[in-house]
């Protein structure tokens, strides 16, 4: 109850005091943070704001790209000729493989039919371009120029010419965010090509990846190629992911320390393919103890044990 004469008369409209405003806005931002990080409620808000910010982002990215491409433009002819030569050679090689692929496919289908196995999943793919690297220094993400309107959905695998580079984690109407495999929060179920050993590969945040939860005496050698296993039902099986660069078996711990290097390089501006399964997976068998669903597999947040190793 204000006592007359004890408060300044309201000559000037000042609004709320600074501290009250600070409290309100801090509470709002903290609520946003919690809602986004813990509860993941804010996808619609994010998409709404993205509609406003995306034109600005493109406005900012276009001159930057122009500056970057000017050098290429003038260094032109010789480089292009060389690239053309290289591409035609690689296409010849690929064509030869492709010719055999048709035959192999037919043969594979026939053999699978003989063995009474389910047909391999069909793959749908969307070609996309990496627009730029997201500027968040705490994660490894790139932005693609295709979004939900072109059929990109969260969880799809993203590959370049050499191998898997990451997974679509957020989609917007016209663009999408891809979390690279080297991100600290990214995990991918894999299989060691040589030994058929299955494992989960985690990003370390430094550009390399680690095969965790493999026994110290697991059959992994330096130089082994790592492929996707497809066990998650998200990634297509058999895509090359990484090569082993270090395998310390005798660390004195129960798990070995196996470091891998990604095969798919992320060039500054590259073309990539977004791969998805064309058909949905069959129903999972009901587990005895109810396990959480894995809609976007690969996120560490959902703790579910993958088969550790197959002797």
Partner 1 sequence: MINHRSSRILLPVRIGFIWISLAIALVLHFVPIGRFYAVPDFVALVLAFWCVREPRLVGMGTAFLLGVAVDVAHGAAMGQHALAYVALAFACASMSRRLLWFSPAIQALHMVPLFLMVQLIMLVVRLMAGGRFPGWEYFFATFTTAALWLPVHYLLLLPQMRPVDRDENRPI
Subset of residues 184 to 223 that bind partner 1, contact rule: CB under 8 A = 184-185, 205-206
Please check whether residue 211 is in contact with residue 176, taking contact to mean a CB–CB distance below 8 angstroms.
no
The C-alpha atoms of residue 269 and residue 279 are separated, in whole angstroms, by 30
For residue 171, report the phi and psi dihedrals to the nearest 5 degrees: -125, 145
The string over 72-84, giving b where at least 16 C-beta atoms fall within 10 Å of a residue's C-beta and e elsewhere, is eeeeeeeeeeeee
Please report how close the Cβ of residue 265 comes to partner 1 at its closest, in angstroms: 14
The C-alpha atoms of residue 239 and residue 161 are separated, in whole angstroms, by 11
Place of tokens 């290289």: 86
Of 53-61, 101-109, 147-155, 248-256, which part binds partner 1 (CB under 8 A)? Answer: 53-61
Subset of residues 166 to 185 that bind partner 1, contact rule: CB under 8 A = 170, 177, 184-185
The C-alpha atoms of residue 256 and residue 268 are separated, in whole angstroms, by 34
Please report how close the Cβ of residue 286 comes to partner 1 at its closest, in angstroms: 31
Q: Which two tokens stand for residue 281?
A: 């997976």
Give the x/- contact pattern for partner 1 in 241-270, rule: CB under 8 A.
Answer: ---------------------------x--
Residue 278 found at the interface with partner 1 (CB under 8 A): no
- Residue 305 DSSP symbol: P
The C-alpha atoms of residue 54 and residue 60 are separated, in whole angstroms, by 10
Residue 102 found at the interface with partner 1 (CB under 8 A): no
Closest to partner 1 by CB, 131 or 192: 131
Q: Considering CB under 8 A, how many residues would be counted as binding partner 1?
A: 47
Residue 308 found at the interface with partner 1 (CB under 8 A): no
Q: Could you list the residues that contact partner 1 (CB under 8 A)?
A: 18, 21-22, 25-26, 28-33, 35-37, 42, 45-46, 49-50, 52-54, 56-57, 59-61, 63-64, 131-139, 141, 143, 170, 177, 184-185, 205-206, 268
């Amino acid at each position: 109850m204000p006592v007359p004469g004890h408060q300044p008369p309201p000559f000037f409209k000042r609004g709320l005091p600074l501290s009250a405003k600070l409290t309100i806005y801090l509470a709002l931002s903290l609520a946003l943070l919690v809602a986004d990080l813990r509860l993941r409620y804010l996808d619609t808000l994010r998409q709404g704001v993205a509609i406003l910010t995306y034109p600005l982002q493109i406005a900012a990215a276009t001159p930057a790209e122009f500056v970057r491409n000017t050098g290429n433009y003038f260094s032109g002819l010789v480089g292009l000729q060389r690239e053309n030569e290289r591409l035609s050679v690689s296409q010849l090689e690929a064509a030869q493989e492709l010719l055999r692929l048709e035959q192999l496919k037919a043969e594979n289908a026939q053999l699978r039919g003989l063995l009474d196995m389910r047909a391999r999943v069909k793959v749908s793919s969307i070609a996309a371009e990496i627009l730029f690297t997201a500027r968040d220094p705490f994660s490894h993400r790139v932005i693609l120029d295709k979004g939900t309107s072109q059929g990109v959905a969260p969880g799809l695998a993203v590959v370049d010419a050499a191998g898997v580079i990451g997974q679509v984690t957020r989609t917007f109407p016209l663009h999408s965010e891809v979390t690279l495999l080297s991100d600290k929060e990214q995990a991918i179920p894999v299989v060691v090509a040589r030994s058929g050993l299955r494992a989960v590969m985690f990003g370390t945040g430094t550009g390399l990846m680690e095969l965790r939860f493999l026994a110290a005496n697991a059959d992994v050698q330096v130089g082994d190629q790592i492929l996707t296993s497809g066990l998650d039902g998200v990634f297509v099986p058999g895509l090359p992911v990484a090569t082993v660069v270090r395998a310390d078996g005798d660390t004195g711990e129960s798990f070995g320390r196996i470091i891998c290097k990604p095969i798919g390089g992320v060039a500054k501006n590259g073309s990539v393919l977004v791969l998805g399964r064309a058909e949905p997976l069959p129903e999972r068998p009901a587990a005895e103890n109810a396990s959480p669903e894995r809609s976007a597999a690969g996120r560490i947040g959902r703790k579910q044990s993958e088969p550790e190793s197959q002797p």
